[in-house]
Amino acid sequence: MVTSDNDRDPWLGDEEQDDEAHPAPLDARQAAAWRSRHRAVSPSRVLLWQCMAGWLAVMLTWSLAESSAAPLSVAYGVLAIVLPAFPFAMAIVRGHSLAALVVWEFVKLMLSVMLLLLAPVVLGEVVWLALLAGVIVTINMYWIAPLWLARSGSVQADLKKS
């Protein structure tokens, strides 16, 4: 197809305007095959990874710390992230609208902030560096767990089980 300069979209590059540059749409069989190779990671699996990483951080801190305040602070930091994530994960699984997910994300963040602010009241003696370490380890599982699950092939293994 020959186009004049007037017919060309100034926002698109030459490659984007060629019909041959666009991939052909997938049929139902191809789309199903693509979905089986690129399965979404379950939010419950990410929460499980967060709990496991938090437990490891608590055990490591417990083995190295001289007092019980540091492991308790790490555990509280982990719980301040994991506990509010449960209702958000349930909202994702239920398939709420994007607006509802934004609201649940806001609720999750506010609950986490509230729990962190209540740390001195709940724990008494807080080791803030340990609490921060628990928070960081747990939050990092939001991106490490899906990457690890996708690379290890357990995402495809989950599909074969069902």
Q: Does residue 127 lie within any of the structural domains?
A: yes
pLDDT tens digits, one per residue of 17-73 = 555 566 778 888 888 887 777 667 778 788 888 899 999 999 999 999 888 889 999
Q: Does residue 8 lie within any of the structural domains?
A: no
Lowest-confidence pick of 11-15, 82-86, 109-113, 128-132: 11-15
CB 142 within 8 Å of CB 48 = no
**43-64 helix and 128-152 helix, angle to the nearest 10 degrees:** 140
Distance CA 105, CA 143 (A): 16
Q: Does residue 2 lie within any of the structural domains?
A: no
Q: Does residue 97 lie within any of the structural domains?
A: yes
Distance CA 77, CA 69 (A): 12
> For residues 119-139, b (16+ Cβ closer than 10 Å) or e, as one string?
beeeeeebbeebbebbbebbb
Q: What are phi and psi of 143, to 5 degrees?
A: -110, -25
Domain that holds residue 57: 41-161
Span 75-86, average pLDDT? 92
Q: Does residue 62 lie within any of the structural domains?
A: yes
Q: Does residue 88 lie within any of the structural domains?
A: yes
pLDDT of 35? 75
Q: Does residue 7 lie within any of the structural domains?
A: no
| Chain centre to alpha carbon of residue 149 | 12
pLDDT tens digits, one per residue of 123-160 = 989 999 999 999 999 988 888 777 777 766 655 444 44
Contacts of 115 (CB under 8 A, 6+ apart): 76, 79, 80, 83, 84
CB neighbour class for 142 (10 Å; exposed up to 12, middle 13-18, buried from 19): middle
Q: Does residue 35 lie within any of the structural domains?
A: no
> Looking at the 3D structure of the chain, how many domains does it have?
1
